[in-house]
Amino acid sequence: MKIIKIKYSKGSLGKNNGTESAPNEILKELKNIWLNESFKELKFTSEDSDIKNIKEGDIYLGGDHSITEPIIKKISKNSKNFGLIVFDAHPDVYKEFEFPTHGDWLYHLIEEGIVKKENIILIGIRNPDIKEIDYLEKNNIKFYTAKELYLDRENICNLIMEKARNFDHIHISVDIDSLDPSIAPGTGYLEPAGLSARELLYYIQRLSFVKNKKTFDLVEVNPLKDTNNITVKTAAKIVGEFL
Ligand SMILES: [Mn+2]
């Protein structure tokens, strides 16, 4: 597996400075994991990439969430039915500027026609703006709230898996704020009542069974705001399940 590090936090407009140090911190912790939960040894190489010229890889470490926009522009080029699964507390379709930020990167990808609306699944939503919910509903974009997940985790996962099998390339984007801030305090926006690490792993481990081409990104981890390195460690564990 090839890990691409994108040390970029300018897309957070000052709200999450520090995420540029996450890739190296996460890799340090990744080296401390002997086996992942499938008892696989973690074998990977890593290199840095510039935001303007994204290198090809299997897993991308940010950085703030705006990096997902250029990543997807690059990796979806040769795909006929590209699918995007996002774990995030926020829908990230709050259009503010003409350029993609960590709060509207998905809006830009949709409006530019890079990703089909029907091929997007958002998971863990719990503090959206009313404008964002209107946008998702108007455009028929599938989203599952953290509350829905709590009530029906397994069935929702079955539905996601069914859909994911039709994509020829699945990209999974994990914003660390999808997790509950009690276990992931090192991030820009703390949104109470999020997913547990086990819940997120349940989804990721099941999605790993889908045979189609897969890529991943993990964003918004901020070591400067972390407590006892727990967010960085949890992020490393998530990455370990992708490898
Ligand atoms: Mn996000």
- Tell me: the pLDDT tens digits for 12-48? 998 899 999 999 999 999 999 999 999 999 999 999 9
Query: 13 C-alpha vs ligand 1 centroid, how far in Å?
Result: 13
For the purposes of burial, counting CB atoms within 10 Å of the CB of 153, is it exposed (0-12), middle (13-18) or buried (19 or more)?
A: middle
- pLDDT of residue 174 exceeding 90, the answer is yes
pTM over 0.85: yes
Query: 102 C-alpha vs ligand 1 centroid, how far in Å?
Result: 6
Start-end of H helices in 84-229: 105-111, 130-138, 146-164, 197-207
- Tell me: the pLDDT tens digits for 106-142? 999 999 999 999 999 999 999 999 999 999 999 999 9
Give the 3-state secondary structure of residue 173.
strand
Query: 39 C-alpha vs ligand 1 centroid, how far in Å?
Result: 30
Domains of the chain: 2-242 (3.40.800.10)
Q: How far apart are CA 17 and CA 187, in angstroms?
A: 10
Q: Which amino acid is at 90?
A: H
Query: 113 C-alpha vs ligand 1 centroid, how far in Å?
Result: 19
Q: How far apart are CA 108 and CA 196, in angstroms?
A: 29
